[in-house]
Structure 1
Amino acid sequence: MPVNRNALIRYRTIDSCLQNRRRKWTLDDLIEACSEAIYEYQGITSGVSRRTIQADIEMMRSNKLGYEAPIVVTDKKYYTYADKNYSITNIPLNQQDLQVLTEVSDLLKQFKGFGHFSDVSEMVSKLEDKIYTQKTQSTPVIDFEKNDNLKGLEWIEVIRKAIVAKRTLCVTYQSFKAREASTFCLSGYLLKEYRNRWFVLGRSHQRNGPLLTLALDRIQAIEEHAEDYRPNTQIDLATYYDDVLGVTKSSNQPTCEVVFWVDKQNAPYVITKPLHHTQKQLHEDETGKIFSIRVILNFELERELLGFGSKMRVLGPRVLVKQIKAQLLKALNGYEQSDEDKERKKIIEDWE
């Protein structure tokens, strides 16, 4: 059964709302959310009628589109999914879907050889693997990196829309170090992924308006706020993270030339997968190779270097050498026997 674009936008919007169990959704809330989505994607300002959304809900409940969505009404006015894990995006693809995806894949493959479309290759591979899996009912032959238990992904679309529309967000956030959550206004500028975690770069509306990088998995709630959006006028978003490994960065923080030695067995891995785009090889002998990168010193850099263990030795700058050495000594001390270690060993033996 063919579905027009507007209807598909409404179905996806209703689905997204009902997956968000942090708030209760009335029919009016769903109408408002769908009207905003239609305006954003289609530029239509006439809004969506109550009758249309009621018909959409019945369509989603039915098997006409293969959804059979378990939409229920609680307290005679709040809409939700009876199954908290349900989403229309999780249902198997039908033959028409597979045909469309195959056509899209064939089209995208034509762009794989062009430099401007270098990111298309992975997209096409994912798409082709999905089509193959659905057609043959077999296990995937490509296993892309993912984290099914990752928190905070529900905020990506909320933040993206706010950035595009230049709207202020009211964010309730609790970092790992904070004892309790705090709520503040934020003007978002950029969504960034690092090692399968998502972050938003934006400016706080608190006094002095510091630039913040917030982890989406530490956000507890987000709402749009009436405060005026504060546009970015100070940083180049396209190059802001060029001098950093990870996402931790302070304003006006200087870069350093980090020099490190890697043994000959592991040097090829560092060559084929550089730690940073500024990486250079400085020296080579029978024991290994010496490299350098120019980056800001931060937690993610230390964690990356420590991950090589004895296979790597940091040679400079001096402050980083001192910090890495302190971390390694602390780790070594953690393996020394003590009464506490004996107690832990007993617990492990009992568990096994």
Structure 2
Amino acid sequence: MPNTKHAIIRYQALDKCFRNKSKRYFINDLVNVCQSAIENFTGNAEGVQKRQLYDDIAFMMSENGYNAPIEKDKMGRKVYYYYSDVNFSINNQPLTESEALELKETLITLNRFKGLPQFEWIESMTTRLEASFQFGTEANQIIEFDQNEFLKGKEYIKELYHAITNKTPLNITYKSFASNSNMVFELHPYYLKQYNNRWFVFGKNPNFDNITNLALDRIQDIQQANTPFITTNIDFKEYFEDIIGVTFNNQLSPSKIVLRIDESLWPYIETKPLHGSQKVVNKTNAFTDIMLELIPNYELEALILQHGEKIQVLQPIELKDKIYSRVEQLIKKYNCAE
């Protein structure tokens, strides 16, 4: 049985070689072609052994594989491989049982992307494949993703996505939680981001120096603006490296934040770090101290408060005082309720 890692990539590469009647492919040629195909697909150079390809060829010829009509002829002391049937291709054959299972599992995962603009093809493709291969719908009953199907604003993702890719400025009618009336923002959109099951669009509003972010569930309408698009050089992957969530304060720089984690909570924080910069600076049987390097914001405060008494802020003093003040207000509300 062939090594399954990158097997499909190798089968496809071999299939192209065996169908090519204008060139003879010897085993060393096949090794080079498969290595190039894997590197082009994954970005990583990975050695392919001759023994691996002999196993691949045997599998492709077998009933469990593709029943491929692979022939080999000698040229001097070397052997080259080809299809005896010029019209044969593994892509014209029915799926094997193992391929059908892999496809089924892939479709389950892809279903979580339904509704996103770059994945519009998924719903129709899933329906056709389920009908063609009789996958049925029972697969969807064994896995669930943390996604809010009733979230408002998802209908704007497609329009915003295309506005970003086509560099189209927009006039966005927006109603914030703090206002009862609508506002119209001119926005030159750059980036879409999901956080805590809500979607946000980031872009340039000419009236402000900093990047503006708008929650999609507060958008009321979107219209194209008749103005030249303002471009940006911001790398948004780096833009979010120094924060948790989506609230960014350009006036602040990343600072060292030290948190004391109760030992009962530590296994969860260890396996799911609060931030990529998380480092352990002290550990005892009762607690673990970690250090984060990021810009404090509302989302960080919410994350700390979410864990209640299990997390204590040690530094900076400004963040410690802010958390203390919020806890104090919470206690007052509970006392008033009595």
Compute the TM-score of the two structures, normalised by the length of structure 1: 0.58
Dislocated runs of 4+, deviation >3 Å: 102-109, 120-127, 129-134, 136-139
TM superposition shift of 1:108: 10
Equivalent pairs, count = 227
Looking at structure 1, the residues matched to 150 and 217 of structure 2 have their Cα atoms a distance apart, in angstroms, of 11
Opposite residue 204 of structure 1, the aligned amino acid is: N
Aligned partner letter, 1:159: L
Return the alpha-carbon distance in structure 2 between the equivalents of residues 239 and 262 of structure 1.
Answer: 27
Structure 1 residues 228 and 103: alpha-carbon distance in aligned structure 2, compared to 1, 3 A threshold: farther
8 A contact 1:261–1:314 mirrored in 2: yes
**Within-5 A mapping of 1:121-270:** 122-123=109-110, 135=136, 137=138, 140-206=141-207, 208-233=208-233, 235-270=234-269
Q: How many Å apart are 1:104 and its aligned residue?
A: 9.0
CA deviations on 1:231-274 (whole Å, 9 max, x unpaired) are: 113x2222110100000002242111111111111111000000
1:134 is displaced (CA, Å) by 5.8
Measured at CA, do residues 315 and 222 of structure 1 come closer, stay the same or move farther in structure 2, by a change above 3 Å?
same
Q: 2:300 matched to 1:301?
A: yes
Distance 1:316 1:105, change over 3 A: farther
Q: Which amino acid aligns with 2:178?
A: K
Name the CA distance, whole Å, in 2 between partners of 1:323 and 1:218.
28
Deviation at 1:281, TM superposition (A): 0.6
In the alignment, what sits opposite 2:17? none
Matches of 2:274 and 2:154, distance apart in 1: 26
Cα shift readout 1:282-311 (whole Å, capped 9, x = no counterpart): 111121101111111110000000011011
Relative to structure 1, the CA distance from residue 105 to residue 163 in structure 2 (aligned partners, 3 Å threshold; closer, same or farther) is farther
Q: Which amino acid aligns with 1:259?
A: V
Q: CA deviation at 1:148?
A: 2.2
Cα offsets for 1:132-154 (capped at 9, x unmatched): 99615476101110112211001
CA distance in 2, matches of 1:192, 1:247: 8
Distance in 1, Cα, partners of 2:164 & 2:192: 9
Q: CA deviation at 1:320?
A: 0.2
- Quote the Cα distance in structure 2 between the aligned partners of 1:186 and 1:176: 19
Identity of aligned residues (%): 31
Alignment check: 8 A CA contact 2:193 2:201 kept: yes
The aligned runs of 1:46-57 (5 Å cut-off) are none
Q: Which runs of 5+ in 1 are unaligned?
A: 1-98, 113-119, 343-352
Aligned position for 1:41: none
- Equivalences for 1:79-118 in 2 at 5 Å? 106=102
In the alignment, does 2:280 pair up with 1:281? yes
C-alpha separation in 2, matches of 1:217 and 1:136: 30
Deviation at 1:184? 2.1
Report SS of the residue matched to 1:325.
Answer: helix
Secondary structure, aligned partner of 1:189? strand
Does residue 290 of structure 1 match 2:289?
yes
Conservation of the 8 A alpha-carbon contact between 2:191 and 2:202: yes
Query: For the Cα contact (< 8 Å) 1:171–1:223, is it kept in 2?
Result: yes
Q: Could you say if the C-alpha distance between residues 309 and 140 of structure 1 is closer, same or farther in structure 2, counting changes exceeding 3 Å? A: same
Please report how far the alpha carbon of residue 121 of structure 1 lies from its aligned counterpart in structure 2 after TM superposition. Answer: 10
Offset of 1:200 from its aligned partner? 0.6
Q: Are the counterparts in 2 of residues 257 and 293 from structure 1 also a CA contact under 8 Å?
A: yes
1:192 is matched by which residue type in structure 2? K
- The answer as to whether partners of 1:108 and 1:124 remain within 8 angstroms in 2 is no
**For 1:134 and 1:146, how far apart are their aligned partners in 2?**
23
Point out where structure 2 has 5 or more consecutive residues left out of the alignment.
1-94, 114-121
The 3 A distance-change label for structure 1 pair 237 and 226 is same
Q: Partner of 1:51 in structure 2?
A: none
Q: What residue in structure 2 maps to residue 57 of structure 1? A: none
Provide the rounded CA distance (Å) in 2 between the counterparts of 1:133 and 1:274: 41
Deviations 1:80-107 (A, max 9, x none): xxxxxxxxxxxxxxxxxxx9xx979846
SS at match of 1:246: coil
Question: Relative to 1, partners in 2 of residues 1:247 and 1:121: Cα closer, same or farther, differing over 3 Å?
Answer: farther
* Counterparts of 1:143 and 1:161, CA distance in 2: 29
For 1:186, give the aligned amino acid: L
Between structure 1 and structure 2, the one with the greater Rg is 2
Q: Scaled by the length of structure 2, what TM-score is found?
A: 0.61
What amino acid is the match of 1:261?
R
* Residue in 2 that maps onto 1:323: 322
